[in-house]
Amino acid sequence: MSHEQSHELSWNQYGKAEVRVVHVDRSEPQHVVRDLNVTTALRGDFGPAYTDGDNSRVLTTDAQKNTVFGLARETGVGEPEAFALAVARQLLSACPSADVARVEVEQYPWSALGGGHAFSRAGSHVVVAELELPRDGEAQLSGGVDELVVLKTTDSEYHGFVKERFTTLAETDERLLATQVTARWRYATGAAESADHAAVKAGALAALLEAFGGHHSLALQQTLHAMGSAVLDARPELAGVTLSLPNKHHFLQDLSRFGLDNPNAVYHADDRPYGLIEGTITRR
């Protein structure tokens, strides 16, 4: 039996990964730097390229890369959500065989130092936009943030968990709580194109941070729920929030052998293994 009779291509996607584009807007005395990492992909009727090496329906990944740079020049680079939508539309226009265009954008924030033309990286977190645009359907858009590291030195407890023969963790009513937030907020139907993306992003990020800082935590799971709920309360344009929160463990260091007490003052930080708490909060 030939491969053609026994096998079929059930799914395919191809594109250009991690196009690094930096756009400088010099229209005002204070320049604006947009620093992006863009990944594009197309899905559709590309079977012959896989089965027969027939590339007649293929928009090259090089052309996808050039689309990113060309649109950065033609339209500028505003909010990453809007730029992703512009790129996706152009790709669908250029490639009739494509049914869906997917664009992911990571934005590395820069802060002005003064003088109009000097900048520093603004913290460690990365702003993210993820878009899927069907040719004949509604855009599906998510925004978010990666690598947002937060820590609180009190208002965190952990007790009442299952205890069995492999349980060694001690209960505590006072612990240091730290995590590196990965968040994706999903836009409601119809909001992808009409929303003020800058306001959504600023509001969602502020809600995440306020909820983490102001919440008395009995578990990181409970804190996740509070953070996701705060984002939805703050931004009506959003339908749901998915959070991934690794527990960046900090354990009290035993100083008794040196004749010293340790009233929640000195910790050692372990990077692995770590608890990984994940969940999605949606509107009812």
Residues 119-150 pLDDT 10s: 998 877 999 999 999 999 999 999 999 999 99
Mean per-residue pLDDT for 81-95? Answer: 97
Cβ atoms 43, 13 nearer than 8 A: yes
pLDDT at residue 228 tops 70: yes
- For position 123, what pLDDT does the model report? 77
Structure tokens at 246: 């690794």
Is residue 16 part of the annotated active site? The answer reads yes
- Cα Rg for the chain, rounded, in angstroms? 24
The CA distance from 228 to 137, in Å, is 28
Considering the chain, tell me which residue range(s) the CATH 3.10.270.10 domain(s) occupy: 9-137, 144-284
pLDDT tens for each residue of 39-61: 999 999 999 999 999 999 999 99
Is residue 280 part of the annotated active site? The answer reads no
- Is domain 9-137 annotated with CATH 3.10.270.10? yes
Q: How confident is the model at residue 209 (pLDDT cuts 50, 70, 90)?
A: very high
The CA distance from 21 to 132, in Å, is 20
- For position 121, what pLDDT does the model report? 86
- For position 7, what pLDDT does the model report? 87
Active-site choice (23, 61, 75, 225): 61
Is residue 225 part of the annotated active site? The answer reads no
Q: Quote the pTM value.
A: 0.91
For the 144-284 domain, the top CATH level (class) is alpha beta
Active-site choice (125, 201, 248, 249): 249
- For position 271, what pLDDT does the model report? 86
109: CB partners within 8 A, 6+ apart: 35, 121, 122, 123, 125, 127
Identity at 116, one-letter amino acid code: G
Q: How confident is the model at residue 6 (pLDDT cuts 50, 70, 90)?
A: confident
pLDDT at residue 109 tops 80: yes
Cβ atoms 127, 68 nearer than 8 A: no
pLDDT at residue 3 tops 70: no
pLDDT at residue 67 tops 90: yes
